Amino acid sequence: MVYDILFRATSETLRTIAADPKHLGAEIGFFIVLHTWGQNLMFHPHLHCVVPGGGLSPDGDRWVSCRPGFFLSVHVLSRLFRRLFLELLQQAFDAGQLHFFTSLHPLQVPSAFAAYLAPLRQAEWVVYAKAPLAGPQQVLDYVGRYTHRVAISNHRLLDIENGQVQFRYKDYRQDGQQKTMTLSADEFIRRFLLHVLPDSFHRIRYYGFLGNRHRQEKLERCRQLLGMAVSATEPPKDYRDQYEELTGISLRLCPVCHRGQMIRIAVPLTPACASPTLRDTS
C-alpha cells in the first residue's frame, strides 16, 4: 500500500507541475524504478525517475523543451510531493488500509497517527534532479543495475562463519570508501528480507506519453516533432545475450572451468513410438 502511494504521489507530482504553463506546460513521459536498499542493506525506499527534457504541448502540435540545464523546480516538486503523499497516507489510514505491528502498533490510534504526521508537514522533503553527465545510455545503465537484481550480489559476500556474515560495502558518507561490515546471520537475513517485494508487485512503471496505452503513437509523434530519423527495427537479442546483460553471467561459458564455450551438439530425441503397455499380472 505505501509503495503504491509512493508511486502515485511521485507520478502525479511530476505530471501536474510539468503541465502547469508557469513551469513547462507540456505532457511529459517518464518511467519510475523502485529502489529500497543502501549498500549496508538498510531500508531506504526511494524512486529513480527517468524523464526526457521536455514534452508534448497540450494540442500535440509542438515539442516543448525545458530550459538548458533546468527541468522543473525541485522546491516546487518537493512541496507538492509532500502534500500528495501525506494526503494519500491519511486516506489509506482512514480507509483501514494501513496496519501497524510491533513498535508501530500504537499508531493505529487516530490521534497518535495524526501526531506522528504533524512534524512531517513542516519538514523539508528531498527531491533531487540532475541531467545525465554522459548521456542517456549512462542513465539506462545506472537504472538497469536495480531493475533485475537483489539487494546484495554474491561477489560482495566475503565470509560466512560462526553465525556471522561479512560483506563489502561502499560508505558514501566518506566518499564511497570500500569498507567491511559484519552482521549476525539473523540480522543479515532480516535486512535482506526487507527488500523482498510483495508478490506480483511492479517495481518499474511508465507514465505520460510512455504509458502503455498510448506509448507507440505518442512516441512516434515525439520523434516526428523532434525530427528524429526512423531507426530500422533490430532483430530481437538472443536470450543468452539478454541474460548476460542483466546478470553479468554468461550462459555460453562452461560452468565448471569458466573458459570453454558451451555448444549444443545434439537435441534429445523423442521416441519413435510409444513404449508398449505392460499388462498388470499381479
Domain ranges of the chain: 2-149+198-247, 152-193
Mean pLDDT: which of 56-60, 84-88, 255-259, 263-267 is highest?
84-88
Q: What are the CA-CA distances from residue 8 to residues 88, 138, 180 (Å)?
A: 9, 26, 37
Q: Which runs of consecutive H residues, i.e. helices, occur in the chain? A: 2-19, 74-94, 110-117, 136-147, 185-193, 215-226, 239-247
Fill in the DSSP letter of residue 261: B
Q: What is the arithmetic mean of pLDDT over 11-25?
A: 96
Give the pLDDT confidence of 22-48 residue by residue, as tens digits: 999 999 999 999 999 988 999 999 999
CA atoms of 101 and 99, how far apart (whole Å): 7
C-alpha cell of residue 78: 518537493
- What's the start-to-end Cα distance of the chain, in Å? 60
Q: What is the arithmetic mean of pLDDT over 233-249?
A: 78
**Mean pLDDT of the chain, nearest integer:** 88
The H or E element containing residue 30 is strand 29-37
- Least confident range from 26-40, 134-148, 166-180, 259-273: namely 259-273
Is the per-residue pLDDT at 236 higher than 80? no
Fill in the DSSP letter of residue 65: E
- Least confident range from 65-69, 84-88, 257-261: namely 257-261
